[in-house]
Amino acid sequence: MSGHSPRYVTEVRKQDGAGPEQPADRGVPIQAVPLRHPGRWCASAVLVFLVVFLVQGWATNPRMQWGVVAEYLFAPAVLDGLRTTALLTVLAMAIGVVGGVVLAILRMSSNPLLAALSGFYIWVFRGTPLLVQLLFWYFLSAVVPTVGLGIPWGPTFVEADTNQLITQMTAAVLGLGLHEAAYMAEIVRAGIASVDDGQTEAAHALGMTRRQTMRRIVLPQAMRVIIPPTGNQAVSMLKTTSLVFAIAVPELLTSVQGIYSRNFAQIPLLTVACVWYLVATTVLTLAQRYLERAFRKESSS
Amino acid sequence: MTATVVRAEGVRKNFGDVEVLRGIDLRVAQGEVLCLIGPSGSGKSTFLRCVNHLERVDAGRLYVRDRLVGYEERGGRIHELSDKAVAQQRRGIGMVFQRFNLFPHMTALQNVMEAPVRVAGERKEVARRRALGLLTRVGLADKCDSYPSQLSGGQQQRVAIARALAMEPELMLFDEPTSALDPELVGEVLDVMRALARDGMTMIVVTHEMGFAREVCDSLAFMDGGVVVESGPPEAVIGSPRHERTQAFVRKVR
């Protein structure tokens, strides 16, 4: 019996891999031969070859007219277009965010009519193409020739020609902004819903009104959930502004198109537009990352 | 005879088809500490939440300082109060929650200052000084600039008490204030509550801490199934319960 038990113990230790026979194993890093991935290497080689081939062909193609790209990259018309694109993005997003907050609060209202109206708005504006909406605003004067302020079915005090009131620019801002509001409404609603009910109760218990609770307690916390998708929406909006070339607003794409309709250098000028869109989206992405970090720090440091 | 702060007469509350409160009659006098005990689902938290109108009373009458809570009696009819009027009523009633519910985007000091500045319109410097005083009173003067996530549960709950006290309430409601705490942190919160009771604060405390109930409260009400089964001095209710259900409950928690 006594002769058996020591061997039994040794066996168990061997299984553990930490027996007294191999004390050197402890703490020594494993020097393993790395696993090879030949498939990955092949795929990488093929892709690198393709990229080099395409870029080289693109860059050295004389018809790309790189000189034209360089010539127009900082042309006043292009920079004006870029400014208009930036302005459209800012205004449309502002309308989108404010409208989205209002729609989200209405949607969550205990009044069924308000909630239904908000739902109806979202249904209409998300359910029809943006391009159609833009054209709709642009041609509004055809069915509503004048816009006035007065008493319904009564006298009108101020009246204006719709064509003068809704210029191409306002049609573009309205179209982009009101469409965006429908999307932002869902984002804001998700953000508000993410805030624990206990926060609202605590604020109410302190004597805060519903409005104060929303503004001081709920919305600041909802921001953490709202900001990342809003950043995506802003980047997306920047690119979507190019749609307004359909109603001839002189933004980046329209300016570029105006130039290539005269010199027929379509691809070089579209390249100019792409360069600026990339620059702008990169800036927006960096700004978004900064904002996200700032809000994360504030709420959970 | 001291003044009555809370008076409940036949208070009822339904959630859909479920009757949560089935006629509650209770009185809390000025400076009195009332503990509500009972099994979960007995309606004690719901009753507490009715007192500051976080839940609306469906039937019966609930008065705080002779004012109907959440309603107004005018011309023989009962009218709902506006959001503003309800908020005004709640100013005088502090509440402490089981899950603390501190505002996570504000520091401890900002949590305490928020209501005095935004609700009572107090000047920021004044509110800050008072908030500092309150945090010192709950033993957290060194945690002013900490965010809730940097504080332990017990510290968070003490900040929450300071936050409720900042509105200088005449009544404090505690909804199982120690139930979400690790056992070793319960004591520090109960100490603060004990001190409050000693200072003469009128309090309603929903709790499972029988030791605290026996030691601190002036009266105790045992609730079960949406009614007050038995109430009276704590030593009577816990020590020699008359009702069968109370006896069974006390046997289990002791």
Return the residue matching tokens 């299984």: A15
Q: Residues B178, B207: contact at Cβ < 8 Å?
A: yes
Residues in chain B within 8 Å Cβ distance of A207? 87-88, 90-91, 115, 119-120, 167
pLDDT value at position A142?
Answer: 75
ipTM computed for the complex: 0.94
Tokens of A253: 């794409």
The pLDDT tens digits for A178-198 are 999 999 999 999 999 999 999
Q: From the candidates B49, B118, B159, which should be mutated to test the interface with A, based on the most A CB atoms within 10 A?
A: B118
The verdict on a CB contact (< 8 Å) between B90 and A206 is yes
The verdict on a CB contact (< 8 Å) between B114 and A207 is no
Write the CB contacts of A194 (distance below 8 Å, at least 6 apart in sequence). Answer: A221, A222, A225
Cα distance between the two ends of chain B:
34
Indicate the helix (H) or strand (E) that contains A237.
helix A219-240
Domain-embedded: residue B160: yes
The verdict on a CB contact (< 8 Å) between B119 and A206 is yes
Strand intervals (E) in A101-196? 146-150, 156-161
| Of residues A207, A210, A299, nearest to B90 (C-beta) | A207
Domain assignment of residue B134, given as a range? 100-168
| Of residues B52, B104, B115, nearest to A300 (C-beta) | B104
Whether residue B1 is predicted with pLDDT greater than 70 in this model: the reply is no
Write the CA distances from B126 to A32, B91, B132, B137, B222, integer angstroms. 67, 18, 10, 17, 42
Write the CA distances from A109 to A50, A103, A115, B182, integer angstroms. 56, 10, 6, 38
Domain-embedded: residue B157: yes
The verdict on a CB contact (< 8 Å) between B101 and A199 is yes
Q: If you average pLDDT over residues A93-104, what whole number do you get?
A: 96
Domain count across chain B: 1
pLDDT value at position A10?
Answer: 47
The pLDDT tens digits for A123-176 are 999 999 999 999 999 888 777 777 778 788 778 787 777 777 778 888 999 999
Domain-embedded: residue B226: no
pLDDT value at position A216?
Answer: 95
Radius of gyration, alpha carbons of chain B: 18
Lowest mean pLDDT among A166-170, A261-265, B103-107, B115-119: A166-170
Whether residue A256 is predicted with pLDDT greater than 90 in this model: the reply is yes
Domain-embedded: residue B176: no
The pLDDT tens digits for B134-159 are 999 999 999 999 999 999 999 999 99
Quick one: closest CA in B to A204, which residue?
A: B87
Q: Tell me how crowded residue A207 is: count the other CB atoms within 10 A of its CB.
A: 24
Phi-psi region of B219 (alpha: psi -120 to 50; beta: other; left: phi over 0): beta
Write the CB contacts of A175 (distance below 8 Å, at least 6 apart in sequence). Answer: A130, A133, A134, A136, A137, A138, A244
Residues in chain A within 8 Å Cβ distance of B93? 205
Q: Which of residues 140 through 199 in chain A touch B, CB cutoff 8 A?
A: 196, 198-199
Domain-embedded: residue B146: yes
User: Distance between CA A24 and CA A22 in Å, rounded?
Assistant: 5
The verdict on a CB contact (< 8 Å) between B97 and A198 is yes
Under CATH, which architecture does the A64-298 domain have?
Orthogonal Bundle (1.10)
Q: If you average pLDDT over residues B23-28, what whole number do you get?
A: 96
Domain-embedded: residue B122: yes
Strand intervals (E) in chain A? 146-150, 156-161
Quick one: closest CA in B to A201, which residue?
A: B54
Write the CA distances from B246 to A41, A192, B36, B206, B227, integer angstroms. 76, 43, 12, 16, 12
The verdict on a CB contact (< 8 Å) between B119 and A300 is no
Whether residue A300 is predicted with pLDDT greater than 60 in this model: the reply is no
Q: How remote is the C-alpha of B249 from its chain's centroid?
A: 22
pLDDT value at position A9?
Answer: 47
A55 touches chain B (CB under 8 A): no
The pLDDT-based confidence of A24 (bands split at 50, 70, 90) is low
Domain-embedded: residue B3: no
Lowest mean pLDDT among A58-62, A196-200, A233-237, B201-205: A58-62
Nearest to A206 by CA among B109, B161, B141: B161
Mean pLDDT of chain B: 94
Nearest to A230 by CA among A104, A53, A49, A77: A104
Rounded to the nearest angstrom, the minimum Cα separation between A195 and chain B is 11
pLDDT value at position A144?
Answer: 77
Domain-embedded: residue B162: yes
Q: If you average pLDDT over residues A40-55, what whole number do you get?
A: 95
